[in-house]
């Protein structure tokens, strides 16, 4: 079974051009239980500010206590992975990440 969230190598930063957005996935975050949550990669940041460094970000695997099993998505592909696959299955997204990451290594 594929993961709900995109697996990243490191936590992104939180930026505030209006509503706080994930600095890698480029999607709006939601306020969830006292933290900003990226719906694409599952990273959270403290809700006490509208901007945060990547050091303040907490990847899904750490705050949820369960590993993500999908391929690690390179930062330069994360925004594309979210927007192209928001209406597709996690399996389709993970397949695309594997293919694109492999072609970037060539």
SS3 (DSSP) at 87: coil
pTM: 0.84
What is the number of structural domains in the chain?
1
Please state whether 34 falls in left (phi above 0), alpha (psi between -120 and 50) or beta.
left
- H or E element that contains 44: strand 44-46
| Residue 86 counted as domain residue | yes
pLDDT, tens digit, for every residue of 31-59? 988 999 999 899 999 999 899 999 999 99
21 — pLDDT class (breaks 50, 70, 90): very high
Rounded Cα–Cα distance for residues 9 and 33 (Å): 24
| Residue 44 counted as domain residue | yes
55: containing domain: 7-104
Contact assessment for residue 11 and residue 43, using Cβ atoms and an 8 Å cutoff? yes
């Amino acid at each position: 079974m594929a993961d709900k969230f995109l697996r990243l190598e490191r936590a992104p930063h939180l930026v505030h051009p209006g509503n706080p957005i994930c600095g890698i996935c480029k999607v709006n975050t939601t306020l969830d239980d006292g933290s900003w949550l990226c719906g694409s990669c599952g990273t959270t940041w403290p809700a006490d500010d509208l901007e945060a460094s990547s050091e303040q970000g907490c990847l899904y695997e750490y705050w949820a206590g369960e590993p993500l099993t999908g391929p690690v998505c390179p930062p330069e592909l994360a925004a594309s992975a979210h927007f192209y696959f928001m209406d597709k299955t996690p399996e389709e997204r993970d397949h695309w990440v594997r293919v694109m990451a492999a072609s970037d290594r060539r």
